[in-house]
Amino acid sequence: MSNANATQDALGALLKEELRSRPLSKITVAGLTSAAGVSRQTFYYHFADVYELAVWVFERDIAHHIMAHASYSEWAQGFQQMLTYMKNNREQTYATINSLSHRELERFFMHQFQGMTAAIVAELEGDLQLEPESRTFVIDHYAMIVLGHLLHWFAGGMREEPADLVPRIELILRGSVRASLERFGAGSAVTHS
Mean pLDDT of the chain: 90
The answer to whether 190 and 137 have CB atoms below 8 angstroms apart is: no
Sign of CA dihedral 25, 38, 6, 43: positive
DSSP annotation of 35 reads H
What are the tens digits of pLDDT across the range 12-28? 999 988 887 888 888 99
- The pTM score is 0.80
What is the C-alpha to C-alpha distance for residues 1 and 26, in angstroms, rounded to an integer?
30
Domain with CATH 1.10.357.10 in the chain: 50-185
Choosing among 3.30.930.10, 3.40.630.10, 3.30.70.1560, 1.10.357.10, the CATH entry for 50-185 is 1.10.357.10
Q: How confident is the model at residue 193 (pLDDT cuts 50, 70, 90)?
A: very low
Average pLDDT over residues 116-128: 93
Instruction: For 112-157, give the DSSP string.
Output: HHHHHHHHHHHHHHTT----HHHHHHHHHHHHHHHHHHHHHHHHTT
The answer to whether 62 and 113 have CB atoms below 8 angstroms apart is: no
Q: Is 48 exposed, middle or buried (0-12, 13-18, 19+ CB in 10 A)?
A: exposed
The answer to whether 108 and 60 have CB atoms below 8 angstroms apart is: no
The answer to whether 123 and 139 have CB atoms below 8 angstroms apart is: no
Domain with CATH 1.10.10.60 in the chain: 3-46
| The predicted structure's pLDDT at residue 159 | 97
CATH of domain 3-46: 1.10.10.60
Q: What's the CA angle centered on 158, arms 152 and 161, to 5 degrees?
A: 110
What are the tens digits of pLDDT across the range 62-91? 888 888 888 999 999 999 999 998 998 888
